[in-house]
């Protein structure tokens, strides 16, 4: 493998948001490798969601239409999943 092949892909705003989103989904136990309850960590999921919300607030007016839609849709989806996971955790307690 050449150095060029092993170099990580470039990162842009969308990739960064999707990376944070993946982290939140992992902590919510929504990824195939993280489906058992032992991997659910609502505090870490909330932290990832809050980071995305902070980026949305701090970048308001400086994003392309595509970036604004992505961050808005990601936050909406993650917040719904977080509420559902919180409710499920409360029901188990």
Is 28 within a domain?
Answer: yes
Percent of the chain clearing pLDDT 70 (strictly above): 88
The verdict on residue 38 lying in a domain is: yes
Count of the separate structural domains present in the chain: 1
pTM assigned to the model: 0.82
Residue 93 has pLDDT above 80, yes or no: no
Quote the CA–CA distance of 81 and 92 in Å, as a whole number: 17
In a domain, 2, yes or no: no
Q: Which domain holds residue 56?
A: 10-92
* Alpha-carbon torsion, ordered 71, 73, 78, 79, to 10 deg: 100
Whether residue 55 is contained in a domain is answered as yes
Which residue bears the tokens 């849709």? 73
Q: Looking at 20-24, 35-39, 75-79, which range is the least confident one?
A: 35-39
What's residue 8's pLDDT?
76
Domain annotation covers residue 5: no
**Whole-angstrom Cα Rg for the chain:** 16
The reply to whether 45 falls in a domain is yes
74 falls within a domain: yes
């Amino acid at each position: 493998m050449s150095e060029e092949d092993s170099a990580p892909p470039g990162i842009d705003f969308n990739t960064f948001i999707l990376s944070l989103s993946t982290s939140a989904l992992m902590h919510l136990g929504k990824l195939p490798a993280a489906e058992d309850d032992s991997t659910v960590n609502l505090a870490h999921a909330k932290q990832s969601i809050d980071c995305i919300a902070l980026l949305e607030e701090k970048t308001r007016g400086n994003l392309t239409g595509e970036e604004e839609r992505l961050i808005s849709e990601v936050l909406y989806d993650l917040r719904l999943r977080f509420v559902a996971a919180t409710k499920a955790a409360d029901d188990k307690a």
